[in-house]
Amino acid sequence: MKALLLNADMGESFGPWVMGLDHEVMPHVDLANVACGFHASDPDVIRMTVRLAKKHGVRVGAHPAYPDMVGFGRRSLACSAEEIENLVLYQLGALAGMCRAEGLEVSYVKPHGALYNDMARDPEIMAAVMRAILAYDPGLPLMTMATRDTSAARALAAAEGVALWFEAFADRAYDGEGRLVSRREPGAVHHDQQVIVDQARRIATGQPLTANDGSEFVLAADTLCVHGDNPESIAAVKAIRQALNALEAGS
């Protein structure tokens, strides 16, 4: 069993409006996906989040999105490949400036919301995101969805020269292709802590998951996404951290 890094979306507040319990979840994760201002956040929130990550020894990643604060970046926009490359590069630069001010560096890139999902489906969009990374720092990994078959993403990454980190979710249901079930469908999100922790263990140890069509599949993942926007989710994050620590100690 290889170590499975925990990542969480952070810095999604805006002005006096607060989203997420960043101070409570940060001590339990390895990677902080920091919003860069296009779907959420503002300069003050970004810098505060970077400082919080530094305090807890958490690596910072860019969480770029389509320019859609009203839709929280969850709506696909008709952007050209060049526009996507530039909007990702722009957001990378914004976060990098805050990181430099705090003595940190951007460690990876994980697109947010609709851009993340569009990238997973469309090689042209994924290539555009990769070109932005290459223009900024060819050494930065790109976080993308772990699915039943990742051969196409791996081939594109090899051709472009970008490293990939595959991401899985402990609190989400999967379909027969090993993709996330839409939040619009019933049962798409797990709420039972025991179910969530069991799925995390299965992903970490390479055991099969059961899709919503009854088929089984294995996700080869490097990192596990967790959420911390309410007390119940914070408890789940702590339980996942304890379970993974126990697995690593016993391996």
Residue indicated by tokens 């797990």: 190
Q: What is the pLDDT of residue 1?
A: 56
Residue range 191-204: average pLDDT? 93
Q: Are 209 and 174 in contact (CB under 8 A)?
A: yes
**139-190 tens-digit pLDDT:** 999 999 999 999 999 999 999 999 999 999 999 999 998 999 988 898 899 9
| CB count in 10 Å sphere of residue 50 | 26
Distances from the Cα of 136 to the Cα of 19, 83, 160, 246, angstroms:
29, 16, 14, 38
CA dihedral (180, 1, 141, 196) in degrees, to 10, reads: 30
Lowest-pLDDT choice from 87-96, 153-162, 233-242 = 233-242
Pairwise CA distance, residues 168 & 146, whole Å? 6
Pairwise CA distance, residues 136 & 193, whole Å? 39
**203-236 tens-digit pLDDT:** 999 999 999 999 999 999 999 999 888 888 899 9
Question: What is the CATH number for 16?
Answer: 3.20.20.370
Answer whether residue 47 shows pLDDT above 90: yes
Q: What is the pLDDT of residue 100?
A: 98
pTM: 0.95
Q: Are 141 and 196 in contact (CB under 8 A)?
A: no
Number of folded domains in the chain? 1
Residue 177 sits in which domain range? Answer: 5-250
As given in the structure block, the two tokens for residue 70 are 């009203």
